[in-house]
Amino acid sequence: MTDTILETAGLTREFSGFVAVDGVSLRVETGTIHALIGPNGAGKTTCFNLLTNFLTPTRGTIKFKGEDITGMKPAMVARRGLVRSFQISAVFPHLTALENVRLALQRARGASFDFWRPETALNVYNDRALELLHDVGLPDLGNAVVADLPYGQKRALEIATTLALDPEMMLLDEPTAGMAHGDVDTIVQLIKRIRKGRTILMVEHNLSVVEGLCDTITVLTRGRILAEGDYATVSKNPEVIAAYLGSSDA
């Protein structure tokens, strides 16, 4: 019954001789949480940039819901329901939390080229925006300027903004990076709540997060897939231990 939502074949990206991503063939099944792990410089973020077409692959193809999206404009990929977050917290710092989420909800009206209409035209999205803020644990913060929020709340806000597009598939680039322990747990709970009806592909460094959360794990090193499977399988793989987990024993 499982079917594939995202599939890459021989995905390769070279940067003037350096191969960052080398023939990655990835299959993400619908409705799963899939993790992409690997040591620094393994090509995880490059992979994300390729999947969302922020970078063009040197070789290889990307299929989303059976449709070839290789070389499509990033905005068009987003409109098809494949929405990403960023490693550095991607918020709009000088807007309020409500405006951040509303900017995503505003997509529902199509292109917003209407420069002659007052901003109040967007107030119809306020309720939904507040609801989303509530869902990610940021109630009552609608009018807060985002630059003033602590880091954990910015990450939560970013997820709220991504959720506002109601994407079929979310790509989360290190959602817990740089977070305090308590905040990590909040985000993990949040991801568990939002996974319903969605597929999530995430890059993650924190293995305890991956362990409890992800159905499938793909390990990347030097741009290649080293191993794939559930946490139990992957964590026992001697090559993975050597390449990645082993570094902590040394």
- The residue ranges that bind another protein (CB under 8 A) are 52, 54, 73-76, 78-79, 83-86, 90-95, 99, 102-104, 106-107, 109, 111-122, 161, 165
Between 9 and 177, name the residue whose CB sits nearer to another protein: 177
Between 76 and 180, name the residue whose CB sits nearer to another protein: 76
Nearest to 245 by CA among 40, 44, 42, 39: 39
Minimum distance from residue 138 beta carbon to another protein (Å): 17
CB 168 within 8 A of CB 65: yes
Minimum distance from residue 80 beta carbon to another protein (Å): 9
Minimum distance from residue 126 beta carbon to another protein (Å): 13
Q: What are 11's two structure tokens?
A: 């995905």
User: Exposed/middle/buried for 225, CB within 10 Å: 0-12, 13-18, 19+?
Assistant: middle
CB 188 within 8 A of CB 8: no
Strands 59-64 and 67-68: antiparallel
Minimum distance from residue 170 beta carbon to another protein (Å): 11
Q: How many residues does the chain have?
A: 250
Nearest to 155 by CA among 127, 198, 125, 186: 186
Q: What are 49's two structure tokens?
A: 């940039």
Between 141 and 226, name the residue whose CB sits nearer to another protein: 141
Between 22 and 168, name the residue whose CB sits nearer to another protein: 168
Between 178 and 246, name the residue whose CB sits nearer to another protein: 178
